[in-house]
Chains A and B, each alone.
Chain A
Amino acid sequence: MWTIKRFPLLWLLPALLPVLLMTLYPIGHALWTSLHRVMILFPGEPFVGLDNYKRVMASSYFYDALKNSLVFTFFAAPSVVVIGVLVALFLQRRFFGSQIVRSVVLLPWVLPGAISAVLWIWVFHPSFGVLNAILRSLNIIDRSIPWLISPQLAPISVTIAHVWTQIPFAVILTMAALSTINSETLDAAALDCRSSFKRFRYVLFPEIRSMIVVLLVYNSLIAFTGYDLVYAMTSGGPGTATTLLSFQIWRESFSMYDFGAGSAVAFIVVLISATLIIAITRALPSDLFGGDEP
């Protein structure tokens, strides 16, 4: 008799097959590509073992991209979480127009990365940018600041743009976590503790810390694999100042026609990402996600 209890795998197949097709197959093919010489200008696709990996790791571009990606992640991910939590705490309050403010806060998240990049180019542009115009009008500067063309400032500009795009998601998740806190707990905390900071530290933070960790891990991954803003704002430049590993994947594959090397960089990114996640989760207290024992 064909009931769901019998042949469970068969019943799952219609849902599993598209997932396998769109995840396992591309990943498997990318792994295969990384172990073969796949250059459109060379005949055949012979097996080369780890040669692609050795070649990319011997390149100065790889180390520039790796350093940039790690630094970018180190600054961007915590910034998103901190600012997102602060904004969420602010939006928890009721004030006139709070609903409108909540909607506006979400706007950066719905914009495609390329559109956000164009927007921020017009903020940071040395000649036409809004930021330099404001700073000049306030007599804070008398020469325009090269936000996107200085190797020191361009990474900061891209980081700011990235953080802006990711804050809304952190706000939403934090507000969701805050909404699960028992209102009587909040009332009691308001009575017992006048300091907002202490209320947050001893009452709110313990309740939402698991969500904060999830956000930290998620934003670390997003930052480490970021691509669209870099591509649209700076093309990885000036020089290699804003080249991230994901951008290097694109450059190896589509500029240098070496899909094997591009796939190798992609898998190195996967390995580093996995290491990051493991490192973060191992650093966490063991009871972080556990409920209270009865």
Chain B
Amino acid sequence: MQLKKVLLAMSMATGVFAAQTALAGEDITLEFVVWNYSLDTIQDNIKIFEAKNPGIKVNLTDYTWTDYQDSLILRFRSNTQTDVIYGGQDWLPAWASAGFVAPLNDIAPPDELSALSDDIAGFALSDMTVDDELYGLPYYADTISFIYNKKILDDAGIAVPRTWEEVTAASLKLQASGMERPFVYELNQELPNFFDAFVAQSYGRGAELFDADQNAVFADPENGAYKQLEWLADAYSQGLIQPETHESKIIPAMNTGNHAFTVVYNYVLAALNNSATQPLAGQFALALMPGAENSTLGFSKFYAVTAKTAADPERAEAAWKFINFMAGGDYTIAKRWAVEKGLGFGQLPLYDDSDVIEAWGKWVDVSTLNQQAATAKAGVWTEWGGVWSAYFRPLLAKAMVGEATVDEVMQEGAQRWNELKEQFANR
């Protein structure tokens, strides 16, 4: 009898719960996956979106930058619900080819998407496009820059270097006066930006790593990329370089006053010059990438939708609303990232925004930045690029630390590139 009463109570409770669930309406919860930069800002943006879009919830999942790519691969292969993601220009061709992500045309009204595309900077648009299909809208777009400590150079009577030879001369002079390793460098062969930084430096010399047919040409000793790797290996052997495993360690390292130069993303300069947290804030400046052409790598990270979500009309509509909110509309969110965090942007109207110009003027010489951005070039990203980069990065590191010669590394890297190119062509 007692058991019957308990069973009856449980069934009634279950019925009430089910009814409540049905009455609550069916909110869509989008799974938004990011790397863990400024999560509080993202969460705040999500709250604003949810307030404006009743019926759509956004659940945020984050991974560290170092784990992001393989965590996404695991999610895709295990069919874990993933709706909107941060994407990277180096991963996009492979992910598009594998069917993990869908073109925005699949979820966005064509006229809206076209209007937004017209507002995107060239190198950013190129990074988000595969086979003439646009796969994302910019989360942020940036260039990789050469950054130096103004005070250290002024005190030492050193002019801002314009070539890599001048960087060596300046570093040797600083080393002779007691600075152990003047150049702090993000050396983490498992990070895609380790290769990006090398490309940026090579572009400074006016080099192209691949020809118009996407054949590797950097194994030629006369190629600027070859020369840049020789420069890096030479600088390392002379003890001029202090490697750090992540940009977050470059910020405190530069703020010790023990290093004069680095090559990082522009938003790191904003962090370096943050007077609220950094003791040497205000001493750091951007210079044009050393080399004959002073060009650099421009790139874009973006919001993308997964193919699985694009195939579900309800989720696709919610995903487009979210992506449009975060990267489109009146660019409020992109502007927020730029003003509050110094993140670069791919949305052209923001270049003329007075709030952005005023905020950026506090940590960078905007005219130099614009000059650098004007010469920035997009990278060469292919389906096999990510696989090849993972293969080539440890070789780059080997050459830098003297475990292999530059020629061995460049020859092996070029050979592997050409092998993969053929393999993918015959797929």
Interface residues of A (CB under 8 A from B): 40-43, 60-61, 126-128, 143-144, 149-151, 235-241, 243, 250-251, 253-258
B73 touching A40, Cβ below 8 Å:
yes
Expressed in whole angstroms, the Cα–Cα distance for A144 and B181 within the complex equals 10
A239 touching B401, Cβ below 8 Å:
yes
Least CB distance, B395 to chain A, in whole angstroms: 8
B172 interface residue per 8 A CB criterion: no
* B391 contacts across to A, CB distance below 8 A: 256
Q: Evaluate whether A236 and B394 lie within 8 angstroms (CB atoms) in the complex, with A143-B180, A257-B73 already known.
A: yes
* A61 contacts across to B, CB distance below 8 A: 394
Please give the number of chain B residues whose Cβ is less than 8 angstroms from any Cβ of chain A in the complex: 40
Least CB distance, B413 to chain A, in whole angstroms: 12
Residue of A nearest to B383 (CB): A41
A238 touching B401, Cβ below 8 Å:
yes
A127 touching B258, Cβ below 8 Å:
yes
B397 touching A237, Cβ below 8 Å:
yes
* B412 contacts across to A, CB distance below 8 A: 60
A251 touching B390, Cβ below 8 Å:
yes
Given contacts A256-B387, A257-B387, 9 further A-B contacts (CB under 8 A): A40-B73, A42-B427, A236-B189, A237-B189, A237-B397, A238-B401, A251-B390, A255-B70, A257-B386
Expressed in whole angstroms, the Cα–Cα distance for A251 and B73 within the complex equals 13
B69 interface residue per 8 A CB criterion: yes
* B76 contacts across to A, CB distance below 8 A: 40
* A243 contacts across to B, CB distance below 8 A: 394
In this complex, the member of B66, B74, B397 whose beta carbon has the largest number of chain A beta carbons within 10 angstroms is B397
Give the residues from 206 to 256 in chain B that come closer than 8 angstroms, CB to CB, to chain A.
242-243, 245, 252-253, 256
A127 touching B242, Cβ below 8 Å:
yes
* A254 contacts across to B, CB distance below 8 A: 69-70, 73-74
Residue of A nearest to B97 (CB): A41
Kindly supply a per-residue 1/0 record for chain B positions 336-354, scoring 1 wherever the CB is within 8 Å of any chain A CB and 0 otherwise: 0000000000000000000
Kindly supply a per-residue 1/0 record for chain B positions 98-116, scoring 1 wherever the CB is within 8 Å of any chain A CB and 0 otherwise: 1000000000000000000
B402 interface residue per 8 A CB criterion: yes
Least CB distance, B176 to chain A, in whole angstroms: 14
* B326 contacts across to A, CB distance below 8 A: none
Q: Evaluate whether A255 and B400 lie within 8 angstroms (CB atoms) in the complex, with A40-B98, A41-B383 already known.
A: no
| Residue of B97, B253, B397, B424 touching A238 (CB-CB under 8 A) | B397
Q: Is the interface of B mostly helix, strand, loop or mixed?
A: helix
B317 interface residue per 8 A CB criterion: no
Give the residues from 371 to 403 in chain B that come closer than 8 angstroms, CB to CB, to chain A.
383-384, 386-387, 390-391, 394, 397-403
Residue of B nearest to A143 (CB): B180
* B427 contacts across to A, CB distance below 8 A: 42-43
* B253 contacts across to A, CB distance below 8 A: 127
A236 touching B190, Cβ below 8 Å:
yes
B324 interface residue per 8 A CB criterion: no
| Residue of A41, A128, A236, A238 touching B387 (CB-CB under 8 A) | A41
Q: Evaluate whether A255 and B98 lie within 8 angstroms (CB atoms) in the complex, with A149-B401, A151-B402, A236-B394 already known.
A: no
* A127 contacts across to B, CB distance below 8 A: 242, 253, 256, 258
A149 touching B187, Cβ below 8 Å:
yes
* A149 contacts across to B, CB distance below 8 A: 187, 243, 401
| Residue of B245, B258, B398 touching A240 (CB-CB under 8 A) | B398
Q: Evaluate whether A255 and B383 lie within 8 angstroms (CB atoms) in the complex, with A41-B98, A42-B427, A238-B397 already known.
A: no
B77 interface residue per 8 A CB criterion: yes
Expressed in whole angstroms, the Cα–Cα distance for A222 and B188 within the complex equals 25
In this complex, the member of A40, A150, A239 whose beta carbon has the largest number of chain B beta carbons within 10 angstroms is A239
In the complex, 8 of the A-B residue pairs with CB atoms within 8 angstroms, ordered by the A residue number, are A235-B66, A235-B189, A235-B245, A237-B397, A238-B398, A239-B394, A243-B394, A250-B70
The 10 A-B residue pairs with the shortest CB-CB distance, nearest first, are A254-B70, A239-B398, A255-B390, A239-B403, A235-B190, A238-B401, A239-B397, A149-B243, A256-B390, A256-B387
* B77 contacts across to A, CB distance below 8 A: 40
Residue of A nearest to B387 (CB): A256
B404 interface residue per 8 A CB criterion: yes
| Residue of B180, B256, B401 touching A151 (CB-CB under 8 A) | B401
Residue of A nearest to B386 (CB): A257
Expressed in whole angstroms, the Cα–Cα distance for A269 and B390 within the complex equals 22
Least CB distance, A36 to chain B, in whole angstroms: 15
B94 interface residue per 8 A CB criterion: yes
* A238 contacts across to B, CB distance below 8 A: 187, 189, 243, 397-398, 400-401, 403
A240 touching B97, Cβ below 8 Å:
no
Residue of B nearest to A241 (CB): B403
Least CB distance, B200 to chain A, in whole angstroms: 20
| Residue of B66, B94, B188 touching A41 (CB-CB under 8 A) | B94
Expressed in whole angstroms, the Cα–Cα distance for A256 and B94 within the complex equals 11
Residue of B nearest to A127 (CB): B253
Residue of A nearest to B93 (CB): A41
Least CB distance, B341 to chain A, in whole angstroms: 25
A241 touching B258, Cβ below 8 Å:
no
Q: Evaluate whether A41 and B384 lie within 8 angstroms (CB atoms) in the complex, with A236-B394, A255-B70 already known.
A: yes
Expressed in whole angstroms, the Cα–Cα distance for A42 and B398 within the complex equals 29
Give the residues from 32 to 86 in chain B that come closer than 8 angstroms, CB to CB, to chain A.
66, 69-70, 73-74, 76-77
* A250 contacts across to B, CB distance below 8 A: 70
Expressed in whole angstroms, the Cα–Cα distance for A128 and B243 within the complex equals 13
Residue of B nearest to A234 (CB): B245
Expressed in whole angstroms, the Cα–Cα distance for A162 and B252 within the complex equals 28
Residue of B nearest to A43 (CB): B427
* A239 contacts across to B, CB distance below 8 A: 189, 394, 397-401, 403-404
Least CB distance, A186 to chain B, in whole angstroms: 50
B180 touching A144, Cβ below 8 Å:
yes
| Residue of A60, A126, A151 touching B242 (CB-CB under 8 A) | A126
Residue of A nearest to B404 (CB): A239
A241 touching B390, Cβ below 8 Å:
no
Expressed in whole angstroms, the Cα–Cα distance for A258 and B423 within the complex equals 13
Expressed in whole angstroms, the Cα–Cα distance for A40 and B411 within the complex equals 27
* B252 contacts across to A, CB distance below 8 A: 128
Expressed in whole angstroms, the Cα–Cα distance for A43 and B190 within the complex equals 26
Kindly supply a per-residue 1/0 record for chain B positions 163-199, scoring 1 wherever the CB is within 8 Å of any chain A CB and 0 otherwise: 0000000000000000010000001111000000000
Least CB distance, B70 to chain A, in whole angstroms: 3
Least CB distance, A189 to chain B, in whole angstroms: 51
Expressed in whole angstroms, the Cα–Cα distance for A235 and B383 within the complex equals 24
* B189 contacts across to A, CB distance below 8 A: 235-239
Residue of A nearest to B393 (CB): A255
A241 touching B180, Cβ below 8 Å:
no
